[in-house]
Amino acid sequence: MRQGVVLLVAAVLATACGGPSHRADSAPAVDQLASMLADESAVNAIMGTTTMRAYYRYRTLPGWPEGEVYSRPDCLVVTANAMEPEYAGSRYGEMRGTRLLDSDPAVQTSIDEAVVAFESPAAAQSFVAATVRAWKPCANTLLTITAKDKPTHHWNLGSARVVDGVDVVDADHADTTRGWRGSRALRASKSVVIDVRVTGFGITDQAIRLVNAIAGRDRL
């Protein structure tokens, strides 16, 4: 009996002093904003391929590339998604983004998917509406991008439209006859703005489907 008491006391002391415990550790916090982004499997299913790979993840909105000159700076909102100058003054909060590239160099498809949190659903909707208004003066115009020691690019900018609840606008590269296109798509899901750009050959509705796939993962 005395031996049993000694063992019990020793077990209590070991626990009090930080000894082994059989309690499960607390589960790590889930980054719910990042979990909205489509993973490689989902992106490949939408793109009809198996070769899209994530190569860069980011948590802050980038600025415009340095050293580039634009014939219509106000129209960069058509050709680029998730850029800080577009969101400045909108009182946005946390954001998460992922860039993906096709590992087959002959395909040259790239994707930039981002989710940006706002303080309320109304604020998210307001940002989307303001961005679409900024697209409209650029419809059916030519944007020229020049930079030192780089080829000059010309983009024919399209008209904004709504498809399956998503605001979308296209930009077609004027320097190729192979149908190189960038498609930017936007949607507010609750208090989150989903901001996606898909660029490549034969781009049709992939950006729209990707935005709606991300909206379907919204658990915030």
Are 98 and 37 contacting, i.e. CB atoms less than 8 angstroms apart?
yes
For 93, list phi and psi in degrees, rounded to 5.
Answer: -115, -130
Percentage of residues in the chain with pLDDT exceeding 90? 75
pLDDT of 219 higher than 70: no
The pLDDT tens digits for 1-38 are 444 433 333 333 333 344 443 333 444 456 889 999 99
pLDDT grade for 122, boundaries at 50, 70 and 90: very high
Q: What pLDDT does 59 receive?
A: 97
Segment 59-84 shows an average pLDDT of 94
Q: What pLDDT does 30 receive?
A: 62
**Domain map (residue ranges) of the chain:** 55-215
Higher pLDDT, 95 or 220: 95
Segment 140-152 shows an average pLDDT of 93
Helix axes 206-215, 40-47, angle to 10 degrees: 140
Q: What pLDDT does 216 receive?
A: 87
Burial category of 34 from C-beta neighbours within 10 Å (exposed 0-12, middle 13-18, buried 19 and up): middle
Q: What pLDDT does 177 receive?
A: 79
What b-and-e string marks burial along 167-195, b requiring 16 or more CB atoms within 10 Å of the CB?
A: bbbbbbbeeeeeebbbbbbbbbbebbbbb
Three-class secondary structure of residue 204 per DSSP: coil
Mean pLDDT, the chain, whole residue set: 87
Q: What pLDDT does 2 receive?
A: 42
Are 158 and 104 contacting, i.e. CB atoms less than 8 angstroms apart?
no
Higher pLDDT, 96 or 28: 96
Alpha helices, DSSP H, located in 70-205: 76-79, 84-87, 121-135
pLDDT of 168 higher than 60: yes
Higher pLDDT, 216 or 213: 213
Higher pLDDT, 6 or 125: 125
Higher pLDDT, 136 or 13: 136
- Distance CA(112)–CA(54), nearest Å, equals 10
Q: What pLDDT does 24 receive?
A: 39
| Radius of gyration of the chain measured on its C-alpha atoms | 24
Q: What pLDDT does 66 receive?
A: 87
- The CATH topology of domain 55-215 is Protein Transport Mog1p; Chain A (3.40.1000)
In total, the chain counts a number of residues equal to 220
Are 190 and 206 contacting, i.e. CB atoms less than 8 angstroms apart?
no
Residues 6+ positions from 127 with CB-CB distance below 8 Å: 87, 90, 92, 118, 188, 193
pLDDT of 218 higher than 70: no
